[in-house]
Amino acid sequence: MKKLSLLCAVVVAGSFLSSFSYAGFTLYYINEDNKTYDDVPIKCKSSKTKGKFEGRLSGSIFISGTTPCTLTLDNSIEVKEKDKIVIKNGKFSLKR
């Protein structure tokens, strides 16, 4: 009985901890083009999706998946948690 209880505890703890690895992150951006970019391909280690960058000066987008992630517009850029990007002339760059 003790072995079964211990096994259940390990399985529950593993399930709980593994849910955090795919939590995702928020990417902040400055859109100097003031143009909305729909269906921007986002490829992460654990997932592929598309994102929308609103046509306002600044904003954020939640990306589900583990970093690093690659965003593709007219160019490709690799991002990770806590990065901030700039969109200018239809291209991504990291904000320094």
Domain contains 60: yes
The CA dihedral of 51, 57, 80, 39, to the nearest 10 degrees, is 10
Domain contains 37: yes
Domain contains 84: yes
Number of domains composing the chain: 1
- The domain of 54 spans 22-94
What pLDDT, on the 0 to 100 scale, is given for residue 1? 60
Domain contains 56: yes
What pLDDT, on the 0 to 100 scale, is given for residue 95? 92
Domain contains 83: yes
The band of 5, judged by pLDDT with boundaries at 50, 70 and 90, is low
Higher pLDDT, 77 or 1: 77
Residue 17 has pLDDT above 80, yes or no: no
Which two structure tokens, joined as six digits, stand for 2?
A: 């003790």
Across the chain, what does the average pLDDT equal? 84
Mean pLDDT of 61-87: 95
What pLDDT, on the 0 to 100 scale, is given for residue 16? 46
What pLDDT, on the 0 to 100 scale, is given for residue 46? 82
Domain contains 90: yes
The band of 9, judged by pLDDT with boundaries at 50, 70 and 90, is very low
d(CA 55, CA 35): 4
